[in-house]
Amino acid sequence: MPALSADHLSRSYGSDLVLRDISLTIELGESVALLGVNGAGKSTLGRILAGWEEPDTGVLARRRDLGLAYLPQEPVLDPSLTVYATVEASLSRWKATMAAYESVSEALSRGEGDPEEAVARQTALAQELESLGGWQVRHRVERVLESLQLRRLEQPVGELSGGERRRVALAKILLAAPGFAVLDEPTNHLDADTCAWLETWLREEFTGALLLITHDRYLLDRVVTRVLELDRGVVHSHDGAYGAYLAARVTRLALEDRAHTRQLNLLRREEDWLSRGPPARTRKSKARIDSALALAEEVKGHPRREEAPAFTVASARAAKRLLSCEGLSKGYGGRALFEGLGFHLSPGERVGIVGPNGAGKTTLLRVLLGDEAPDAGEVTRAPSLKVAYFDQARAGLDDALSVYDTIAEGSDRVAVGDRHLTVHAYLDLFLFDSHRSRQRVGSLSGGERARVALARMLRGEANLLVLDEPTNDLDLFALTALEELLSGFPGAALVVTHDRWFLDRVATSLLYFEPDGRVVQYAGGWDDCLLQRASAARSAALASPAPSRPPPAREPKRAPAVKTLTPPEARELESLPAQVDAAEAELSRREARLNDPGLYARGPAEVARCVAEAEAQREVVRALTARWEALEARRG
């Protein structure tokens, strides 16, 4: 059953036609991805479908009872409200349903109205409450906020960073459980572990229809069931997840190219026919002349398809060891970011740096490069070290300059190793044609700014590439080009990123900021890191000595009996049955996941994670049950 459908939508900004003749349908409960190059109009289409913007033409039909939610890249929140109050405000639907349930229950207890009708209504409301998060909604709110690393719940939203505000806006949508949600780049400003949590939530907890505008290929491969590609103003639909989309896209583009080639060949024949001389033209068919002119207009108006950029950098000669550190420590305000860190970096190594937001990843880069002094330890850099640095804030860009002037810096040529390209030829590698190169940097989209920053960084020679969150804002084609650049680069690379797919494709090892403050180096990419961390946790658990039991006393002393419960304990006991039921239901869901054969096709890392989650949930059930039994015994 459709959640919404769009017929022949179009949208222009001035003379720029962004969307043309868009028709699509999204079913209830369906998870759909919207992909396309930077500037293709993905956010515009997302705003229109979510009701935040109106199309110029076309019809958009939504279910009457469909709740809508939209996560923009720059959310607008009330700065005076606290984090908790902001998120709690999204529970209006839950509160209304709970009030209706309590009203029906009270009427039923007083014997008012038709009992069968009241019971049916009560059952329907109870099912709706379950779909909106269950009965212990405060616990659910706190769980989501903790998972999104929002721990200062009484802090005003106006005091938060941009990334924290995005996480608050995301929490509102997840807890509101709308019938249709559009999430525009939801993993931006999330660390890798939080991205993994969001993936699980969207796959297992979110029941509404979902439109994801994202470059996170783990989400695309594990959450979505259909991919919509926005290409030159038109939407193409491909069933299946990301892998199936890639295969289908290759076939579609090949067919398009073949058809376009046939059009060009036909046009050449028609133009040759038309040019055979004025006397002959008077005897030619007017219909054929009109058809040839129409074909010429069609071919002329054929939009240019965006290709992947061709990132390039010249490699400088490198020593056998470019950089090393021993006993490296750094902290601020009495808080240690990392302590006793030691590792070496040689040509051919690509080290990913992973950890929670605020853990100190950027600080580590600055210490390694000499921009900040360590509190302890030493960094040794090779005399031949040449660094190309891509900073997270794109601080080197001047919004008032054009793209051309940003790269040219007063010269009409750019040195790329032993080659010298014109500025226009160099910018063309980064998908800036002569028209776009004249645009001011301040008018560009986030993805276009990232490409300018990369073009500026990759001039000249380097033997160490340092990239701080390079994957934010880049589209999938630019991400693939960056992966190819790093994989073929003979020097070394240090990359701070939350993109798990990118790490699996590129990294030879990871520096992982553990929760206990240690920075541990793991071989391989993200999935390899998960397996090694799980193995280390199991080994530590097996190595821990079992607590010794004291010998039983000959005459054990009896603790004085507590005959009554305190009022807080009485209230706790009253709520425990529902908590135990909810915990057991969650355990059943997680155990059912382990029985799903499809789980084991996702790889050992996913299996290990699901096993750990199920075991953790068993502990929750055991703890709640033990507490319930203890309080019941005391009451008895």
pLDDT of residue 460: 82
CA–CA dist 419, 422 (Å, integer): 10
**For residue 531, is pLDDT > 80?**
yes
CA angle, 5 then 9 then 10, to 5° = 160
pLDDT of residue 349: 94
- 50-70 pLDDT, tens digit per residue, is 999 999 999 999 988 888 999
3-state secondary structure of 564: coil
- 18-53 pLDDT, tens digit per residue, is 898 899 999 999 999 999 888 788 999 999 999 999
pLDDT of residue 559: 41
Q: Look up residue 436 and give its amino acid.
A: R
- Positive or negative CA dihedral for 144, 149, 154, 155? negative
Token pair listed for 116: 């069968």
In 3D space, the residue among 262, 253, 263, 273 whose CA is nearest the CA of residue 301 turns out to be 263
Q: How many CB atoms within 10 Å of residue 454?
A: 23
3-state secondary structure of 483: helix
DSSP conformation class of 82: B
Counting residues of the chain whose pLDDT is more than 90, the rounded percentage is: 36
Token pair listed for 357: 């937001």
In this structure, what are the phi and psi dihedrals at residue 241, rounded to the nearest 5 degrees? -85, -165
pLDDT of residue 254: 77
Mean pLDDT of 191-217: 92
pLDDT of residue 307: 62
**For residue 325, is pLDDT > 70?**
yes
**For residue 551, is pLDDT > 60?**
no
pTM of the model: 0.72
The torsion of the CA quartet 15, 21, 26, 31, rounded to 10 degrees, works out to -50
- 467-511 pLDDT, tens digit per residue, is 999 988 888 888 888 999 999 999 999 999 999 999 999 999 999
Find all residues with CB under 8 Å of 222, minimum gap 6, and list them: 199, 203, 241, 602
In 3D space, the residue among 318, 370, 367, 309 whose CA is nearest the CA of residue 489 turns out to be 318
3-state secondary structure of 515: coil
Q: Do domains 314-534 and 567-635 have the same CATH topology?
A: no
In 3D space, the residue among 54, 52, 63 whose CA is nearest the CA of residue 4 turns out to be 63
Q: Between β-strands 234-239 and 419-422, what pairing exists: parallel, antiparallel or unpaired?
A: unpaired
Contact 69, 181 (CB under 8 A): yes
Q: How many CB atoms within 10 Å of residue 626?
A: 10
**Rg from Cα positions in the chain:** 30
Domain layout of the chain by residue ranges? 314-534, 567-635
Q: Look up residue 472 and give its amino acid.
A: N
CATH of 567-635, one of 1.10.238, 3.40.50, 1.10.287, 1.10.10: 1.10.287
In 3D space, the residue among 199, 235, 197 whose CA is nearest the CA of residue 214 turns out to be 199
Per the listing, tokens 């690379």 go with 493
Q: Tell me the C-alpha to C-alpha distance, in Å, between residue 219 and each of 126, 271, 629.
A: 31, 49, 42
Across 317-386, the runs of DSSP E, i.e. the strands, are 323-332, 335-345, 350-354, 376-381
Contact 22, 234 (CB under 8 A): yes
CA–CA dist 431, 368 (Å, integer): 32
The torsion of the CA quartet 605, 606, 608, 614, rounded to 10 degrees, works out to 160
Paired with 516 in beta bridges are: none
Higher model confidence: residue 72 or residue 627?
72
Quick one: 442 exposed, middle or buried, by C-beta within 10 A (0-12, 13-18, 19+)? exposed
3-state secondary structure of 40: coil
SS (HEC) of 302-313: CCCCCCCCCCCC
Indicate the fold that domain 314-534 takes in CATH: Rossmann fold (3.40.50)
CA–CA dist 191, 168 (Å, integer): 15
- 584-621 pLDDT, tens digit per residue, is 888 788 777 776 666 655 655 566 677 667 766 776 77
Find all residues with CB under 8 Å of 407, minimum gap 6, and list them: 414, 423, 426, 427, 452, 455, 456, 459
Contact 140, 133 (CB under 8 A): yes
Give the confidence band of 281 by pLDDT, cuts at 50, 70, 90: very low
pLDDT of residue 268: 66
Across 514-625, the runs of DSSP E, i.e. the strands, are 519-523
Per the listing, tokens 């939209």 go with 70
- Positive or negative CA dihedral for 586, 591, 597, 599? positive
DSSP conformation class of 601: G
Find all residues with CB under 8 Å of 9, minimum gap 6, and list them: 19, 21, 22, 23, 45, 48, 55, 57, 58, 59, 60
